[in-house]
Chain A
Amino acid sequence: MPEFTSDLVMHEVVGPLTTAEAREEALRCYYCYDAPCIRGCPTAIDIPVFIKHIATGHLLGAARTILDANPLGATCARICPTEALCEGACVRGQDSRPVAIGRLQRTATDAAMAGEVPDLPEFATAGHGRVAVVGAGPSGLSAASYLRRLGYEVDVFEERPAGGGLDTYGIVSFREPVAVSLWEVERAAKMGVQFHYGVRAGRDVSWDALREGWDAVVLAVGLGRVPRLGIGGEELPGVYDALELVEASKTGPLEAIRLFGTVAVVGAGNTAVDAATLAKRLGADRVIILYRRGEEAMPAYAYEYAFAKQEGIEYRWWTRPLAITGASRVEGIRVVSTRPASGQARSDRQAQLEDVADSVQDIPVSAVIRAVGQEKPGQIWSALGVLVREGRVVVDSETFETSLTGVYAIGDGLARPGEATVVQGVADGKRCAFAVHHRLTTGRED
C-alpha cells in the first residue's frame, strides 16, 4: 500500500454538518411516499428512511440504510452531483430548498467510519461459485460487495497497489479524502472479498485464465489517461495530464510538483475544475481555463463552476489552443478565438466551430494542464474479442453481459455519453451482481 499524505495537507472544502444542523435538516424532510429523491438516486437509497433515522438520532440505522443500497455511500455523500440527482428531485426544492441529502448522508457515513459500522441485512438467496472482478474502482467494489453478500467467492484483480480506482487516485483530496475511499475498500475486504493488487489482467493473468478459472468475469476497468491535444510542444516539461497531476498530489510529496506563475487548463468539464483548483493549491498564482466553446456549453456542473469562480479561477471562453511554446520548458500557450460556424447554436456542445481571423494570441504561462476527458479502454475489448460499437463495448442493458457469455462490463469503461459518475458505476455493479447471481443460480439470462 502506497503512502497517501495529501489528506494531511489539503483540507476538505465542505465540512460536516454539526449534530444540530443535521437534526434540523433531517426534520425538513417530508418523508415522501414513493419519494422522487429515491428515483433520483441511481442506487435507489431509501432516502426518507435514512433521514428519519437521523432525525431520531439513530445514525447506525441511517448508515445501514445507505450502505445496504450503496457500499460507496461515504464517497457518494461527498462527490455525487446531488443537484442533478436526489436533491434535484427533492420536492422541497419547490416550496423551499431541497433537503441537503448528500450532507446528511455524510453525517451517517461519517458515524460509520468513526466506528459505528452497521451489519447489513442478509439476502434471501445464496449462490455459490467464484467470480473474478477486474478493477477495484467504485463499480468493481460495488459488484464485488454484492456478489460477496450473495454468497460468492470474489477475487478482485487490480493493477494499482491500492483499491478505490479514481476515488483513491483521481478525486482531489479537498473534495474527498483518500481515507474515505480506502475505508470503503477495507469494508469490502472485511466482507471477505479477496483483493489481488499489482495484478494487471491481460498481462499478469490472462483473459483466458480468468474465463476458465472463474464462473463469471466482471470488467470494471474504467477509462484511461487524458488524451493528447495533438498540438506542438506537448512534450515540454510543464505539460501535465490532469489525472497524473491529481494522482501525484495524492501519492507523492507535494514539494515535487510545485507550480508557479500563470497556469493554463485546457477543457471545461469537472476534471478541469479539479485540476484548476488543485493548481492553485500547488502554488499557481493565476489559473486560466481555456475552453473552445462558450459558457452556455460548458460541461461542468453548476456547483463545480461556482466553486471554480469562488476559488478565483479565470475562464477564457471561445479559445482554442494552437501550440504550447517554450525553449526547454513551457513558456506560453498560443491560442486562437473561435465561434460557432454560421447557423450553429452557441449553446450546442456538438456545434461546428470556426476560427476567428487574425485572433491568434500568445499567453505567457508556466504550465499547461490537459483536462479533456479520458481515453476509452479499447485494447482490453479487442484482446478479449468482445463486440464493440463506435469504440464502446456492447452490453445487455439489463445484465451488463458482453457478447461473450459470462463476461460482464460495468462502470466508466462503458464510456456512456454524458458525465461519468461514481454512483452510476455503483448502480451498475449492483445490478450486474444480481444478474450474475441469476445466471449462476438458474443458468438462464432472463
Chain B
Amino acid sequence: MADLSVNFAGIKSPNPFWLASGPLTNTGYQVAKAFDEGWGGAVWKTVGEPVVNVSSRLGGLDYGGRRMMGLNNIELISDRSLEDNLREIAQVKRRFPDQAVVVSVMVESRPEAWADVLHQIEDTGADGVEMNFGCPHGMSERGMGSIIGQVPDYTCQITGYAKSFTKLPVIVKLTPNVTDIRNPARSAVLGGADALSLINTINSVMGIDLDTWRPLPHVDGRGSHGGYCGPAVKPIALHMVSSIAQDEGVGVPISGIGGIETWRDAVEFLLLGASTVQVCTAAMHYGFRIVREMTDGLNDYLNARGMARVGELTGGALNRLGDWNDLNLSYQVVARIDQQKCVGCNLCYIACDDGGHQCIDLIPGQKVPLVREADCVGCNLCSLVCPVPGCIDMVPIETGRPAKTWRGLA
C-alpha cells in the first residue's frame, strides 16, 4: 500500500482527492457522506454575503452518446446563511479530524468584510481557506469572483487582506478567463498566497434550443454566460497548471482542478505539478462513490512503479514540457498500419487526403490503405482517427540528421 497522504501547504489529508467547491459541498450532510466514501478533503461551497440563486442553473454538453462531456452553470455562491454554513463546517470538522476541510470564501473587496468572515471561519476549526477569485458569472458583475482574478493588482491586494487577518493557510483559486494565467498566479503569491488552485470555470454559452431559440440553460426564457467545466476542459486546465508549476515567480503548492474523472486524469495533474486535485463535475455526474476507483487506481499505479508516496509524482513530467523552440526538428515519425488489425474503414485515408498531407493511398482490391512513408510528415492525424486501438503506430525513423532546435538555429 503506497502512502497517499499529502501535506498541502500545511493542510493534511489522507489522500490527494478533494471535492471542489460547488454543489457537492453545499451542506454538512454531503461533506460527511463524501468523507465516509473516502474523499481526502472538501472545499466548502463558497460562502459570503447571502445571494439568491436562479432556477434553472446547469447546462450539459453531450458527445457521441455520452452525457455531460462538458457542464456549464450559472449558479452563484452558497445561498444558505453564513451561520448555517459555519455551524455545519464546525460539526463536520469535529467528526472528521483527519480530512481536510477548506472553506471557500468570497466577500466584497473591503478589508473589514474579509476580517469579519475569516475570523468566523477560523472559529470553525477548518483547515484552510480558498479565496474564490474565479467565479465568472453573476458575482463578477458585482465586483467579486473573476473580476478580482482578472486584475493582478486586485488579486495581490485582496490576498494581502486575507493573509493579514488569518493564520490559516490561504489558497487562491484562479480563473482561467485570462490571457496568461501566470500573471494572476504571480500576483497571488506576491500577496502572500500559501497555495494556488485552478482552474475555476471557463466563460461559456452552452447552446441554443433549436425549437424555442432559448439559451441553455434558461431562466424564464433568458440565459446568461456561465462557467464551463467537466471532461472537456481538462487539456486547458493541464496547460494552466503546468505553466504556473514551471514559473519561477510562483513556487507554491498547486491544487489541480478541471475535468478530473478518473485516477488517470489525476495522475496527469500530479505529474504536471499539482499535489492535490479537486473534482466537481465527475462527482456531480456519478456521485461520491467514484473516489473509490480513484484511490484504488492511484495506489495500484504507485505500487506498479515502485513508488512509496504519492508526492513523488508531483511535477514528474514537467521537465518534458517547454517551449516549442526546444523541440528537436530532426526527429521524424511515420505512420505504420498493422495489416492484421486494420478493419478497412478507410478513415485514415480520407483524413490524410483531405486534412493531412496526402500520403495515404487506397489500393484497388486491397483492404489496407498504404502509407507512402517518404511523404508522411508524421502529424498523427491518421492514428488519431483510426478506431482500432494499436492499429496505426507512429514509428520513429532514422533520418541521419543531427538533433537541432529552432533555438539552436537562431
* A-B interaction: yes
> B127-135, B180-188, B295-303, B341-349: which lies at the A interface?
B341-349
Q: CB distance B343 to A94 under 8 Å?
A: yes
Q: CB distance A24 to B347 under 8 Å?
A: no
Q: CB distance A91 to B345 under 8 Å?
A: yes
Q: CB distance B65 to A24 under 8 Å?
A: yes
- A3 at interface, CB cutoff 8 A: no
Q: CB distance B346 to A32 under 8 Å?
A: yes
A24: B residues at CB distance < 8 A = 65
B65: A residues at CB distance < 8 A = 23-24, 27, 55
Q: Mark B346-357, 1 if CB is under 8 A from A, else 0.
A: 110110000000
A55: B residues at CB distance < 8 A = 65
Q: Considering only CB atoms and an 8 Å cut-off, how many residues of chain B contact the other chain? A: 12
Q: Mark B370-410, 1 if CB is under 8 A from A, else 0.
A: 00000000000000000110000000000000000000000
**A386 vs chain B, min Cβ distance (A):** 36
- A34 at interface, CB cutoff 8 A: yes
**A357 vs chain B, min Cβ distance (A):** 51
- A123 at interface, CB cutoff 8 A: no
Q: CB distance B343 to A92 under 8 Å?
A: yes
Cα of A92 to Cα of B345 in the assembled complex, Å = 9
B387: A residues at CB distance < 8 A = 30, 95
- A192 at interface, CB cutoff 8 A: no
B347: A residues at CB distance < 8 A = 30-33
B308: A residues at CB distance < 8 A = none
Q: Which of B64, B343, B350, B362 contacts A91 (CB 8 A)?
A: B343
Which residue among A35, A55, A95 has the maximum number of chain B CB atoms within 10 Å of its CB? A95
Main secondary structure of the interface of B (DSSP, over half): loop
Which residue among A27, A32, A92 has the maximum number of chain B CB atoms within 10 Å of its CB? A32
A299: B residues at CB distance < 8 A = none
Q: CB distance B349 to A95 under 8 Å?
A: no
Cα of A55 to Cα of B387 in the assembled complex, Å = 18
Cα of A95 to Cα of B344 in the assembled complex, Å = 11
Smallest Cβ-Cβ distance to A32: which chain B residue: B345
Q: CB distance B388 to A33 under 8 Å?
A: no
Cα of A341 to Cα of B388 in the assembled complex, Å = 49
Cα of A34 to Cα of B363 in the assembled complex, Å = 12
Which residue among B343, B346, B349 has the maximum number of chain A CB atoms within 10 Å of its CB? B343
**B55 vs chain A, min Cβ distance (A):** 27
Q: CB distance A34 to B388 under 8 Å?
A: no
Segment 2-39 of A: residues with Cβ below 8 Å from B: 23-24, 27, 30-36
User: If the complex has contacts A24-B65, A27-B64, are A33 and B343 also in contact, measured as CB distance less than 8 A?
Assistant: no
Segment 81-109 of A: residues with Cβ below 8 Å from B: 91-92, 94-95
A30: B residues at CB distance < 8 A = 343, 345, 347, 387
Cα of A91 to Cα of B345 in the assembled complex, Å = 6
A92: B residues at CB distance < 8 A = 343
**B354 vs chain A, min Cβ distance (A):** 9
B343: A residues at CB distance < 8 A = 30, 91-92, 94-95
**A40 vs chain B, min Cβ distance (A):** 12
Cα of A23 to Cα of B344 in the assembled complex, Å = 24
Smallest Cβ-Cβ distance to A48: which chain B residue: B345
**B167 vs chain A, min Cβ distance (A):** 54
Cα of A23 to Cα of B67 in the assembled complex, Å = 13
B388: A residues at CB distance < 8 A = 95
Cα of A31 to Cα of B387 in the assembled complex, Å = 10
**B332 vs chain A, min Cβ distance (A):** 27
Q: CB distance A33 to B64 under 8 Å?
A: no
Cα of A35 to Cα of B65 in the assembled complex, Å = 22
Q: Mark A36-76, 1 if CB is under 8 A from B, else 0.
A: 10000000000000000001000000000000000000000
Q: CB distance B349 to A91 under 8 Å?
A: no
Q: CB distance B346 to A34 under 8 Å?
A: yes
Further contacts, 9 of them, CB under 8 A, given A27-B64, A32-B345, A34-B349? A24-B65, A31-B347, A32-B346, A33-B345, A33-B347, A34-B346, A91-B345, A94-B343, A95-B388
- 10 A-B interface contacts by CB (under 8 A): A30-B343, A30-B347, A32-B346, A33-B347, A35-B345, A55-B65, A91-B344, A92-B343, A94-B343, A95-B388
Closest 3 CB pairs of A and B: A91-B343, A33-B350, A32-B345
